[in-house]
Amino acid sequence: MAVQQSAGADPYFPANGDARYRAHRYELTLDYRPGPNRLAGAARINAIAGRSPLAEFQLNLGDFKIGRVRVDGRQAHYTHRGGRLRVRPGKPVRAGAAFTVEVQWSGNPKPVASPWGGLGWEELEDGALVASQPVGAPSWYPCNDRPADKASYQISVTTPSAYSVVAGGRLLTRATKASTTTWVYEQPAPTSSYLVSLVIGRYETLLLGDPGLGGVPQHGHLPARLLPAFSRDFARQPAMMELFQELFGPYPFDEYAVVVTDEDLDVPVEAQGLSLFGANHVDGARSWERLVAHELAHQWFGNSVSIADWRHIWLNEGFAKYAEWLWSERSGGPGAQQLAAAAHRLLGSLPQDLRLSDPGRKWMFDDRLYERGGVALHALRCALGDEAFFRMLRGWASLHRGGAVTTEGFAAHAARFSAEPLDGLFEAWVHGTRLPPLPRQAPAVPARPTHPPTNAERR
């Protein structure tokens, strides 16, 4: 695994995260009561100090009452204001040393305010969900909230037994005692804080397809009333999984789940090993199938291969957008060339002042970033040809599995698969703002699986 992490604060969210240390394990023990929306939690965070001693460090956490903060088992001094929990150990943590932070907190979780609305914990009419991109994770647990700081997670949730709990990862145990049930999930893969999700509600669970020997277990969790429509709308997800493994390489996690809430959501949201959809995305007519492909593709691009900071978000969204077009092309819909041409026409009618490599905080979720990101990858595919392009994608996903990457790193990686320099292509499509002409030719997606990248191809 290669990691290209950014140094210092995230330029878009300088108040979030602390680059002076990195977390490598979170163990969260939560008790949630849906009626009063009451959360009590305890976190044990294993971390490693950076190159300098840590006289203090920061976690991000919302408006909760703090019960206790300890560092390596000893009471620590702390202040908690404006979403920042500043911790001062009894004695500084040595440079490069491992240390453990324990935090207890309680209160009524609420979303983090943002230009895109509330982020993170959302109380539903009957339950709750977490959708944190980009900075909503502190709405429910203390974390080093920067995308490059990736850790494994164990999450234990106790809630009334009438409710199901779904989290990304493998369900280890489910134990009922009196009127409550405790669910314990383990996610061993390195996970960014914003990709840690939790859904609490009254759901039915069904298996999507037959994973068979060596297949990927896929489950749906949804209200019983939506089962007939869901069974049609998500019927082709197992085929998407097969296609994306062919094109992008092995699925990077142990299993995949989709949750459909009993309420509408503006857009689906990806999490680690899990995607969240609203009831409005299930109509029995496959109206939103492109989004099913989009969220699944994020498991490779955005979740397993994460970004070093939010300037590089097109490496998440442009790749997932292009995966929509690849699925359409392979499943009998319009081809990627046709879809790229439509996106190009749309972009030509809109202001040309967005730079993929650094869109700015205001525009990081603008539709133009998604569409231009997809067309930029199509231009790269046209330049490389299919055989080299898909070898390049598989190598990218394999080399950086569990890591964090940058636009510069992707350009350098793609250049290894091209006989001609790609500097002009990246300058025009990724670093420039003016819309370049659309390439006129593009070969089809290979009809058969091609071989995985060799060690030489990965280098």
Q: How far apart are CA 122 and CA 110, in angstroms?
A: 6
> Residue 184 phi/psi, 5° resolution?
-125, 120
* Tokens found for residue 34: 């849906």
Residue with tokens 């790193």: 409
Q: For residue 47, what is the enclosing H or E element?
A: strand 38-49
Q: How far apart are CA 444 and CA 76, in angstroms?
A: 60
Is 400 labelled a binding residue?
A: no
> What's 433's DSSP letter?
-
Residue 163 is a catalytic residue:
no
Length of the chain: 459
Residue 295 is a catalytic residue:
yes
- In angstroms, the first-to-last Cα distance of the chain is 12
- According to DSSP, the β-strands at 274-277 and 269-271 are antiparallel
Is 298 labelled a binding residue?
A: yes
Annotated catalytic residue within 163, 251, 370, 371: 370
* Tokens found for residue 412: 């350098």
Annotated catalytic residue within 295, 324, 329, 371: 295
Task: With both helix axes pointing from N to C terminus, report the angle between 407-415 and 386-399 in degrees, rounded to the nearest 10.
Answer: 130
Helix, strand, coil content of the chain in percent (nearest 5): 30, 30, 40
Q: Is residue 59 within 8 Å of residue 184, measured between CB atoms?
A: no
Is 281 labelled a binding residue?
A: no
Reference 38, options 161, 140, 176, 178; nearest CA is: 140
* Tokens found for residue 192: 């960014």
Sheet containing 57-60: give its strands across: 57-60, 84-88, 77-81
Non-local (6+) Cβ contacts of 212 within 8 A are none
Q: Is residue 258 within 8 Å of residue 277, measured between CB atoms?
A: yes
- The amino acid sitting at 317 is E
Sheet containing 120-124: give its strands across: 120-124, 127-131, 198-201, 164-167
- According to DSSP, the β-strands at 38-49 and 98-107 are antiparallel
Give the distance from CA 31 to its chain's centroid: 25
DSSP string spanning 76-139?
-EEEEETTEEEEE-SSPBPTT-EEEEEEEEEE---PBP-TTS-BEEEEETTEEEEE-TTT-GGG
Q: Is residue 62 within 8 Å of residue 138, measured between CB atoms?
A: yes
What is the phi-psi region of residue 214: left when phi exceeds 0, alpha when psi lies from -120 to 50, beta otherwise? left
Residues classed as catalytic: 295, 370
Annotated binding-site residue numbers for Zn(2+) = 294, 298, 317
